[in-house]
Amino acid sequence: MEYKDYYKLLGVSRTATKDEIGKAFKKLARKYHPDLNPNDAAAEGRFKEINEAYEVLKDEKKRKLYDQFGSDWEHGQNFQPPPGYENVNFEGAGFSDFFETIFGGGGGSFRGGFQQGGFSQGFGGSGFHSRPRRGSDSEAVYELTLEEAYQGGTKSITLQEQVAGPDGIPRMTTKTLEVKVPAGVKDGQKIRLAGQGNPGLSGGTRGDLYLRIRLMPHHLYKVKDNDIVLDLPLAPWEAVLGATVRIPTLDGPVEMKIPPGIGSGKKLRIKGRGLGSGARRGDQYVRIMIQSPDRLSGDERRLWEELKEASSFTPRNF
**Any idea of the CA torsion for 52, 53, 59, 62, to the nearest 10 degrees?**
80
The one-letter code for the residue type at 23 is K
The one-character DSSP state at 276 is S
Rounded to whole angstroms, the Cα distance separating 107 from 50 reads 12
Given a cut of 50, is residue 117 above it in pLDDT? Answer: no
Q: Which residues contact 236 (CB under 8 A, 6 or more apart)?
A: 290, 291, 292
Please state the rounded mean pLDDT for residues 125-143. Answer: 72
Task: State the pLDDT at residue 121.
Answer: 38
Q: At what angle do helices 18-32 and 41-57 cross, to 10 degrees?
A: 170
Q: Which residues contact 99 (CB under 8 A, 6 or more apart)?
A: 4, 52, 56, 106, 107
Task: State the pLDDT at residue 247.
Answer: 96
Write down the pTM of the prediction: 0.55
For 173-187, the pLDDT digits (tens) are 888 999 999 999 999
Instruction: Give the confidence band of 37 by pLDDT, cuts at 50, 70, 90.
Output: confident
For 90-109, the pLDDT digits (tens) are 444 457 767 766 665 433 33
Task: State the pLDDT at residue 43.
Answer: 80
